[in-house]
Amino acid sequence: MKTWVLRSASYAVVAMLAAAALRVTPRIEPAPPGRLLQQPSPAVAALRQRTDTLGRGESLYDLLARGGVSEIVAREALNAAKALDPRRIPAGMAVTVKSEPADSLPAEIVLHLAVDRLLTLKRTGAGWTGTDERLPWATDTVAVAGRVASTLYEALDSAATGLLPPRARAELAWTLADIYEYRIDMSRDLREGDRFRALVERERSPNGLVRLGKVVAASFDNDGAEVSAIRFASGRVGGEYFDATGRSLRAPFLRAPLSFRRISSVFGMRTHPILGVRRAHKGTDYAAGSGTPVRAVGDGVVVFAGRRGGYGNVLEIRHRNGYLTRHAHLRGFAPGMRPGRRVGIGETVAYVGTTGLSTAPHLHFEVLVGGVQRDPRVALRIKGGEPIPAGERPSFDQLRDRMIALLDHPDAGRLALR
């Protein structure tokens, strides 16, 4: 009897507790249709990703293995990379591996082939697919103006601060030197106080990288003489740039036989560095590293290539109108350089060396006119490029007037030319 009473009392207590729990538990509303088909939260949907860079001498398989991708999966993915040339994969290339949070296999592998080029490999039910994507660059135009105190590079470095990154500022200096290389030798002709102005395209990548585009117009006031450079596409006259009169800046001769140049001795009297005697230096010495390419300053024909006393290895080229150029102390000659060989302006013909009476690698360069040595700085100063034909003059004149008007306002900064 006592056992039955205790058991009944226990059941009654449980029933009371259950009733109390039901009274305080909130009612669960039925889910409306479609609630279970909603997208998961962004935190759940986001792909996990890991970015690594390719080491020198490392293979893509090694890099992917470091990120947990098996060689079998890596080979399947890379087989879809039709645009990938395994021989041209640069060290330092970034590779991003993306995967679903609950999946051990990668969903995507992104190869950053260049700052503006991505190769994306995606895993699908049917295997891997590859997509080669070119990222667009945004382009604007900026005005750069400055004054030369010592070198063109230093002047541009100061003038373009805030407009271009350091590397682009250095590239702009060499680009201007190339544009004017038929008229101004930036290593010898510059004077303190020379002024320049330039309209320059500036390109920006989606990730913020800035690079130099085309120089659309420039003006250089060199020792009181102003030379304009207007970029114009002529259908009949060679060269990209023309002066204000409509003549091409491309002349019969370059002003210097080296692209990257530094003068160690100029035309005139000097003390010979080896013989120690005062004697006429009938040429110009360009100090440069051994092996630096030497270029022909004009179209011509090779008349001598060989050894000649204190000159060491010598190359002589005969040009039109009685001009002859002589290149001495060479380390060697470009392939095929022998008497009778025709060469074109700008063509590599030899390499800087230190043969003969020479204390260090440099190029000794002479210009002879009618068999007489002349100062290269004077002899190669030829301003007569081809003129724009009459049929193209109206278009050129309109463009020139517009560009010169913009160059006259260098403080404008960014210019909406596009």
What are 33-63's pLDDT values in tens digits?
A: 333 333 444 443 577 888 999 998 888 999 9
Topology match between the domains 48-134 and 138-251+409-415: yes
CA angle 104, 109, 113 (to 5 degrees): 160
Q: Which CATH superfamily is domain 263-372 in?
A: Glucose Permease (Domain IIA) (2.70.70.10)
**pLDDT at residue 411, as a whole number:** 55
Q: CA torsion sign, 210 to 212 to 213 to 215?
A: positive
Residues 101 and 233: their CA atoms lie apart, in Å, by 55
What's the pLDDT at 409?
73
pLDDT the model gives residue 295 = 94
The pTM (predicted TM-score) of the whole model is 0.66
Q: What's 48-134's CATH class?
A: alpha beta
Looking at residue 49, its pLDDT comes to 87
| Mean pLDDT, the chain, integer | 82
CB 210 within 8 A of CB 161: no
The residue among 186 and 386 whose pLDDT is bigger is 386
Each residue's pLDDT tens digit, 209-235 = 899 999 999 999 998 889 999 999 999
Buried b (16+ CB within 10 A) or exposed e, 234-265: beebebbbbbbebbbbbbbbbbbbbbebebeb
Residue 329 pLDDT > 50: yes
Mean pLDDT of 255-276: 50
- 315-324 contacts: CB < 8 A, separation 24 or more? 315/349, 315/350, 317/343, 317/349, 319/252, 319/253, 320/252, 322/369, 322/370, 322/371, 323/253, 323/298, 323/367, 323/368, 323/369, 323/379, 324/367, 324/368, 324/369, 324/371
Query: Is the CB of residue 100 less than 8 Å from the CB of residue 106?
Result: no
User: Backbone dihedral region of 91: left (phi > 0), alpha (psi from -120 to 50 degrees) or beta?
Assistant: beta
Q: Where are the domains of the chain?
A: 48-134, 138-251+409-415, 263-372
Confidence of residue 341 (pLDDT cuts 50, 70, 90): very high
Can you state the angle between helices 152-159 and 166-179, rounded to 10 degrees? Answer: 130
pLDDT of 263 strictly over 80: no
The pLDDT-based confidence of 343 (bands split at 50, 70, 90) is very high
Whether domain 138-251+409-415 has CATH 3.90.650.10: no
Residue 20 has pLDDT above 60, yes or no: no
